[in-house]
């Protein structure tokens, strides 16, 4: 049990982040840039970021929207499609600003229509990624409508991920936003080229939260929240000190009207209090001493990037999360809206 009143850690990075585009950038970027040194930026815009040129332009729009004097660094990704070429992969590696390629099974989640329809069909591209040392970031959910939505990650491991790991042994893979004990076990049993990100919501909540006091669209994301036993497996993985588990918020803002609707979009916004959420989880697990590895070291080491050198501090002090944030001309309901958190960023 830790009685610390203050935590100081090397500045963390967010290894899985949705920033969207346009006028909302200036509203949400300050939250991430105040906490994190770098973030892996997801490419599921409309249209998706599929080329090095598109990624270059998107990166510039992000830099232009940053608060003055921020040295936050967006780490760009390409969106893998059935038509991605090995030449684009080589160009991506040479660019210096593209750090990974994102694999969405077509139809698995928000803006995934252009995703891969058959992973076997992109074999040559995956081989070129292995050669170039560019990691594949996986949204690990099977899209077969016959598979129960709560089982989609576990079935994806059997049907897609295990065969893929066997077929291209040199490919580095990040299993993004893992939600099950099955995924934790897989990472633990696989050699070091497989890593995994874990979100704050999957550490803090189980699937009861979706239905607490009526159906709650703000607790809907993909992969969907799972049973309590899975949440506990994720907490134990994140706080274990195992370097293959690292911080990735999957912060994914949608306007309030798109969440509070007859067909609410998937995604939770956590960037406003991301490191504070993780601190609370690690504190409650009696593992505050492991937070820095998970948040600041493991991801950089996996990607082969230097660790940050500056620091951030958190103080044990109650503060209330706002009910509503600005999101361009719309409103955004943040994760933990109106709730009291126990750690504050200094
Ligand atoms: O809940 C989610 N929201 N899961 C994803 O995979 C995508 C994300 C988004 O872009 O909104
Ligand atoms: Zn995501």
Query: Catalytic positions, please?
Result: 250
The DSSP bridge pattern shows strands 38-41 and 340-345 to be unpaired
Q: In terms of Cα–Cα distance, which of 205, 195, 200 is closest to 174?
A: 195
Ligand 2 centroid to residue 158 C-alpha, Å: 21
Q: Residue 211 in 3-state DSSP?
A: coil
pLDDT in tens, 221-254: 999 999 999 999 999 999 999 999 999 999 999 9
Cβ neighbours for 123, distance < 8 A, ≥ 6 positions apart = 167, 168
Tokens encoding 262: 């007859």
Ligand 1 centroid to residue 213 C-alpha, Å: 24
Specify which residues 116 forms β-bridges with.
105
Q: Give dist(CA 251, CA 232) in Å, integer.
A: 21
Which domains are seen in the chain, by residue range? 12-306 (3.20.20.140)
Q: Give dist(CA 180, CA 226) in Å, integer.
A: 7
- What is the strand order of the sheet 340-345 is part of? 6-10, 311-320, 340-345
The DSSP bridge pattern shows strands 325-327 and 330-332 to be antiparallel
- Average pLDDT over every residue of 67-81: 97
Candidate from 41, 44, 226, 263 with most ligand 1 atoms within 8 A of CB, to mutate? 44
Candidate from 138, 267, 269 with most ligand 1 atoms within 8 A of CB, to mutate? 267
pLDDT at residue 2 tops 60: no
Q: Give dist(CA 174, CA 297) in Å, integer.
A: 15
Burial 68-81 (b: 16+ CB within 10 A, else e): eeeebbbbbbbbbb
Q: Give dist(CA 287, CA 149) in Å, integer.
A: 32
Instruction: Give the torsion sign (CA, 328, 66, 249, 276).
Output: negative
CB count within 10 Å of CB 265 equals: 18
* pLDDT band per the 50, 70, 90 thresholds, residue 1: very low
Are 142 and 159 in contact by the 8 Å Cβ rule? The answer is: yes
pLDDT of residue 110: 75
Ligand 2 centroid to residue 91 C-alpha, Å: 24
Tokens encoding 178: 């893992």
Q: In terms of Cα–Cα distance, which of 9, 61, 60, 57 is closest to 37?
A: 9
If one compares 112 and 80, the residue with the highest pLDDT of the two is 80
* pLDDT band per the 50, 70, 90 thresholds, residue 162: very high
pLDDT of residue 111: 77
Q: Is 258 in the pocket of ligand 1 (CB under 6 A)?
A: no
Q: Name the pTM for this structure.
A: 0.97
Q: Is 110 in the pocket of ligand 1 (CB under 6 A)?
A: yes
Q: Which of ligand 1's atoms lies nearest the C-alpha of 104?
A: 6
pLDDT of residue 3: 61
Whole-number Cα distances in Å, 205 to 212, 282, 292, 302, 335: 11, 14, 22, 27, 11
pLDDT in tens, 97-143: 999 999 999 987 777 888 999 998 999 999 999 999 999 999 999 99
Share of the chain above pLDDT 90, in %: 95
DSSP string, 102-147: EE-BTTSSTT-TTSBS-GGGGHHHHHHHHHHTPPEEE------TTS
pLDDT of residue 59: 98
Candidate from 20, 109, 207 with most ligand 1 atoms within 8 A of CB, to mutate? 109
3-state secondary structure 8-62: EEECCCEEEECCCCHHHHHHHHHHHHHHCCEEEECCCCCCCCCCHHHHHHHHHHH
Note the ligand closest to the C-alpha atom of 253.
Answer: 1
pLDDT of residue 167: 96
pLDDT of residue 107: 83
pLDDT in tens, 276-324: 999 999 999 999 999 999 999 999 999 999 999 999 999 999 999 999 9
Q: Which of ligand 1's atoms lies nearest the C-alpha of 176?
A: 6
Are 114 and 188 in contact by the 8 Å Cβ rule? The answer is: no
Whole-number Cα distances in Å, 316 to 283, 313, 338: 10, 10, 18
- Average pLDDT over every residue of 180-202: 97
Q: Give dist(CA 217, CA 264) in Å, integer.
A: 6
């Amino acid at each position: 049990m830790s009685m610390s009143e203050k935590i100081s850690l090397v500045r963390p990075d967010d290894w899985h982040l949705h920033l969207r585009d346009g006028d909302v950038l200036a509203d949400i970027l300050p939250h991430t840039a105040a906490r994190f040194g770098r973030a892996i930026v997801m490419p599921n815009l409309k249209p998706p970021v599929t080329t090095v040129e598109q990624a270059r332009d998107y990166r510039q729009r992000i830099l232009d929207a940053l608060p003055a004097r921020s040295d936050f660094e967006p780490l760009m990704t390409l969106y893998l499609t059935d038509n991605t070429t090995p030449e684009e992969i080589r160009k991506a590696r040479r660019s210096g600003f593209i750090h990974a390629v994102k694999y969405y099974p077509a139809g698995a989640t928000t803006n995934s229509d252009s995703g891969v329809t058959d992973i076997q069909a992109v074999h040559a591209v995956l081989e070129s990624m292995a050669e170039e040392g560019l990691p594949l970031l996986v949204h690990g959910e099977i899209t077969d409508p016959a598979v129960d939505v709560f089982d989609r990650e576990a079935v994806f491991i059997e049907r897609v991920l295990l065969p893929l790991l066997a077929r291209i042994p040199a490919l580095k893979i990040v299993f993004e936003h893992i939600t099950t004990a099955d995924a934790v076990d897989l990472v633990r049993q696989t050699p070091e080229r497989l890593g995994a990100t874990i979100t704050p919501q999957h550490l803090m909540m189980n699937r009861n939260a979706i239905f607490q006091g009526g159906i709650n669209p703000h607790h809907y994301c993909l992969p969907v929240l799972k049973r309590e036993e899975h949440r506990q497996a994720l907490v134990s993985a994140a706080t274990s000190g195992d370097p293959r588990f690292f911080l990735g918020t999957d912060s994914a803002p949608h306007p309030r009207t798109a969440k509070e609707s007859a067909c609410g979009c998937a995604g939770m916004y956590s960037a406003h209090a991301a490191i504070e959420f993780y601190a609370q989880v690690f504190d409650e697990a009696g593992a505050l001493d492991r937070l820095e590895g998970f948040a600041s070291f493991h991801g950089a080491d996996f990607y082969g990037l230097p660790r940050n050198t500056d620091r951030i501090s958190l103080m044990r002090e109650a503060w209330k999360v706002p009910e509503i944030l600005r999101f361009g001309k719309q409103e955004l309901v943040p994760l933990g809206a109106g709730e009291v958190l126990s750690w504050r960023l200094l």
